[in-house]
A and B are shown apart, each in its own frame.
Chain A
Amino acid sequence: MLKILVCVKQIPDVDLVKMDPETGNLVRTGVPTLTNPLDLNALEAAVQTKERFGGEITLITMGPPMAESTLRECLAVGGDEAILITGRPFGGADTLSTSYTIVKAAEMKGSFDLIFCGKETMDGATGQMASQLAERFDASQISCCYSIEDIADGKVRATRTLETGKEIVEATLPCLITVEKDRFYGRLPNLKAYLAAKTAEITTYTENDIDGLDPEKIGVPGSGTIVPRIYPPELPEPGQIINTGSVRTDVGRLLELLAEKDSI
């Protein structure tokens, strides 16, 4: 039976996050959260794989306690068990310490044949996690997966999307896969699974529960990068829409404005 790990992340609804102009910090208070959409595409690929080849899906996330709702959302559409890594020492982690923490926590459940993750998150958008996880799991990696053709004899064969076409590749297990979102739209949960997921047991790991965890490699101490400042891009002056309903009037007004700016 295939053991499949799917990495997911709860993110703030990026459409609603605003930036504090004074501090440059993202204001997340009161902003609704959602599951990173690309992670749901990865989960769908995992569920389709499970349906075709058999297996069991373990979900894993790191975040505050409320990230549990993301795990329940994913359990409802095909996850079998879920791990939440949570605790203050994990806070402020960059991708280096996050990938370390996720691999150490996942190892508590043994080894995995396939690891699926979204190719990036909508909030951080570093796109670094997949490759770091593949390296730490000592797994091969298939990116931009268009379809999984076969899994047999310790190998996975998949079609990848290239800029100029497609290619079929074969990789040994364990293998980490990121997918094309247009090929793996997330499904709606059915009612039974939705309700069952609400009360499903979730394994919660704090920094004290993970075997062999090096405190120097998690959270801020384990991070290789710091973010000194976040600031919005400078936007050009917004355009002006002239639409009075009359083309003649609109053109007249446009000519007036251009003349005012000495453009004509």
Chain B
Amino acid sequence: MASYNKLTPEIAAQLRAVVGERRFFVGEAVDPNYGHDEMPIYGKHLPEAAVDVETTEEVSEIMKICHANRIPVTCRGAGTGLVGGCVPLAGGLVLCTRRMNKILDYDMENLVVRIQPGVLLKDLAADALEHGLMYPPDPGEKTATVGGNISTNAGGMRAVKYGVTRDYVLALTVVLADGRIIELGKSVCKTSSGYSLLHLMVGSEGTLGIITEMTMKLIPKPICDVSCLLPFRDVEACIHSVPKIKLANLDPQSIEFMDADIVTSSAAFTGNPIFPETVNNEEVGASILVTFVGADEEELDQKMITLGKVAEKAGAMDVLVVATSSNKKAAWSARSSFLTAIEADTKLIDEMDVVVPVDKIPDFLIYIRRLGDENGIRIRNFGHAGDGNLHIYCCSNDLEEEEFKRRVKIIMDKAYTKCAELEGQVSGEHSIGHAKMVYLRESVGEDVFRLMSDIKKVFDPEGILNPGKVCDDTLAG
């Protein structure tokens, strides 16, 4: 089992000297929120101290001190994660990047932007649009930091067309565990230059290094867009339409799935019933929301006409158009509210973020619902139908926490086994943290898991970076 040193007053004084009194917090002065992320069911662990960093050099100095004294360091952005990734399991120091929130500069010739890791996703998205550009990744949590998005390789709704965060990271400045500063990647479109440590860093959840600056790729802002809502009688028909839509050469920007329960919850929560629960007096079982971008309205109309034909053959009850600014605002705010709507009427919540082959989505959903029924746990789900990434929430308002956890473990154990049978992955975009490590290990097998652990040791031989996460099982005893 890993052992770390306590943060003594002498070490605290050294750390305080790096950033000054106002950005160093110790003991009770540490924000209690630093003990958890947005999924507190996985446990709360407060650090001994916390520091708000502002520069790469500060991060480097802090890491040198922590490395020399074997103090664990957990990097934190906005704390919006869902797998306990930023929770300091071994205590030590929380290094918070939220003050590193500057958009440094745009290179309009090469369509790239250089930013600090604490820039919020919503701020980067809005600022890029003002420059006539778009940052394509669109994870649902808009108040996450982009640094956090890189650390989890966040995906989001537009991944169908544009890919995920990884695809937009061109270069990173990283501080290693011992304080050395390295540069990974360049602001170029392609590379065939040795192992891609850049891509190893993406999705590594602060276990290999601390990202302190990023160069991100942007694209020209789309000229116009439209969405279509396709209601279906049942989940199976709904999901089976997805490959047909993808094969129709329409290049959708997103294909989002929502079942009837989540639509009802969202409408009650937002007071906004934009997604219909019935069509011609028939109940809607599940819907998909398809978004297109194009050069002009004519192009979008053509795409919608083709989609209409595909939808009719696939058994859609109707094709509804989301074209006006008011309807777009209402539709996307309803879609973005799904998790908040679930949280609002749920006392205890746990989640999984599996990704399965698109055609296996109905199999998995039917299975997980049955598990929920068998174990007295309410299941809510929505997700990115276009890429098979499902957000599944186990919810209860009645159970005691321990009983809830016991039942959810039964569900999760079986669900991840089913996911493996269907050739799926443990996480599509929320990452592993400490909550999903056991399932990652089962999913990838012992050889791959050990390779991951060995890579971690190369970057961080003392094991001080975010202990107990992804593939570091040394805290388990």
Asked whether A and B interact, the reply is yes
Interface residues of chain A, those whose CB is within 8 Å of chain B, are: 13, 32, 34-35, 37, 40, 73, 76, 182, 185-192, 194-195, 198, 244-249
Nearest to A33 among chain B residues (CB) is B325
List, sorted by A's number, 18 A–B pairs whose CB atoms are closer than 8 Å.
A32-B325, A73-B324, A76-B321, A182-B271, A185-B274, A188-B320, A191-B304, A191-B305, A191-B318, A192-B308, A194-B304, A194-B321, A195-B301, A198-B301, A246-B29, A246-B30, A246-B50, A249-B22
Q: Which of B25, B272, B274 contacts A188 (CB 8 A)?
A: B274
In the bound complex, residues from chain A placing their C-beta under 8 Å from that of B276 are 187-188
Q: Would you give the 0/1 interface string for B313-333, flagging 1 where the beta carbon is closer than 8 Å to chain A?
A: 000001111111111000000
In the bound complex, residues from chain A placing their C-beta under 8 Å from that of B307 are 191
**B260-277 interface with A by 8 A CB criterion:** 271-274, 276
Nearest Cβ in chain B — how far from A112, in angstroms? 26
Task: Report if B96 contacts A (CB, 8 A).
Answer: yes
Contact in complex: B320, A189 (CB < 8 Å): yes
Nearest Cβ in chain B — how far from A262, in angstroms? 24
Nearest to B28 among chain A residues (CB) is A248
Nearest Cβ in chain B — how far from A84, in angstroms? 18
In the bound complex, residues from chain A placing their C-beta under 8 Å from that of B301 are 195, 198
Task: Report if B228 contacts A (CB, 8 A).
Answer: yes
> A94 CA to B331 CA in the complex, in Å?
34
Contact in complex: B25, A246 (CB < 8 Å): yes
Q: Which of A34, A245, A247 contacts B50 (CB 8 A)?
A: A245
In the bound complex, residues from chain A placing their C-beta under 8 Å from that of B31 are 245-247
In the bound complex, residues from chain A placing their C-beta under 8 Å from that of B322 are 188
In the bound complex, residues from chain B placing their C-beta under 8 Å from that of A188 are 229, 274, 276, 320-322, 327
When A and B form their complex, which 8 residue pairs have the shortest distance between CB atoms, in order from nearest? A188-B320, A191-B319, A245-B31, A194-B321, A248-B29, A246-B25, A191-B308, A246-B29
In the bound complex, residues from chain A placing their C-beta under 8 Å from that of B462 are none
**B281-336 interface with A by 8 A CB criterion:** 301, 304-305, 307-308, 318-327
Contact in complex: B305, A190 (CB < 8 Å): no
> A248 CA to B25 CA in the complex, in Å?
9
Q: Which of B52, B272, B308, B321 contacts A189 (CB 8 A)?
A: B321
Nearest Cβ in chain A — how far from B170, in angstroms? 31
In the bound complex, residues from chain A placing their C-beta under 8 Å from that of B34 are 245
In the bound complex, residues from chain A placing their C-beta under 8 Å from that of B28 are 248
In the bound complex, residues from chain B placing their C-beta under 8 Å from that of A34 are 324-326
Nearest Cβ in chain A — how far from B320, in angstroms? 4
> A34 CA to B271 CA in the complex, in Å?
21
Nearest to B319 among chain A residues (CB) is A191
Contact in complex: A244, B320 (CB < 8 Å): no
> A185 CA to B273 CA in the complex, in Å?
7
Contact in complex: B228, A191 (CB < 8 Å): yes
> A245 CA to B50 CA in the complex, in Å?
10
In the bound complex, residues from chain B placing their C-beta under 8 Å from that of A182 are 271
> A194 CA to B25 CA in the complex, in Å?
58
> A182 CA to B271 CA in the complex, in Å?
8
Nearest to A32 among chain B residues (CB) is B325
Q: A188-B274, A188-B321 are in contact. List 11 more A-B contacts (CB 8 A).
A: A73-B324, A189-B323, A190-B318, A190-B319, A190-B320, A191-B307, A192-B308, A194-B304, A195-B305, A245-B31, A246-B50
In the bound complex, residues from chain A placing their C-beta under 8 Å from that of B325 are 13, 32, 34
Nearest Cβ in chain B — how far from A37, in angstroms? 6
Nearest Cβ in chain A — how far from B32, in angstroms? 8
> A186 CA to B321 CA in the complex, in Å?
13
> A76 CA to B327 CA in the complex, in Å?
13
Nearest to A13 among chain B residues (CB) is B325
> A194 CA to B318 CA in the complex, in Å?
12
With A185-B274, A245-B96 in contact, is A191–B29 under 8 Å at CB?
no
Nearest to B226 among chain A residues (CB) is A194
Nearest Cβ in chain A — how far from B59, in angstroms? 17
Contact in complex: A191, B321 (CB < 8 Å): yes
Most buried by B among A188, A192, A194: A188
> A37 CA to B327 CA in the complex, in Å?
10
> A147 CA to B319 CA in the complex, in Å?
28
Q: Which of A35, A192, A198, A244 contacts B326 (CB 8 A)?
A: A35
> A98 CA to B250 CA in the complex, in Å?
45
With A185-B274, A191-B319 in contact, is A249–B25 under 8 Å at CB?
yes
> A194 CA to B305 CA in the complex, in Å?
11
With A185-B273, A188-B274 in contact, is A244–B52 under 8 Å at CB?
yes
In the bound complex, residues from chain A placing their C-beta under 8 Å from that of B320 are 188-191
> A189 CA to B304 CA in the complex, in Å?
13
Nearest Cβ in chain B — how far from A17, in angstroms? 14
In the bound complex, residues from chain B placing their C-beta under 8 Å from that of A32 are 325
In the bound complex, residues from chain B placing their C-beta under 8 Å from that of A244 are 22, 52
> A186 CA to B307 CA in the complex, in Å?
23
With A188-B327, A191-B308 in contact, is A245–B319 under 8 Å at CB?
no
Nearest to A198 among chain B residues (CB) is B301
Nearest to A187 among chain B residues (CB) is B276
> A248 CA to B136 CA in the complex, in Å?
39
Nearest to A36 among chain B residues (CB) is B326
> A19 CA to B213 CA in the complex, in Å?
39
Contact in complex: A249, B29 (CB < 8 Å): yes
> A73 CA to B328 CA in the complex, in Å?
14
**B211-255 interface with A by 8 A CB criterion:** 228-229
> A189 CA to B324 CA in the complex, in Å?
10
In the bound complex, residues from chain A placing their C-beta under 8 Å from that of B50 are 245-246
Nearest Cβ in chain A — how far from B404, in angstroms? 30
In the bound complex, residues from chain B placing their C-beta under 8 Å from that of A185 are 272-274
> A198 CA to B304 CA in the complex, in Å?
14
Nearest to A195 among chain B residues (CB) is B301
**B17-33 interface with A by 8 A CB criterion:** 22, 25, 28-31, 33
Nearest to A16 among chain B residues (CB) is B325
> A73 CA to B321 CA in the complex, in Å?
11
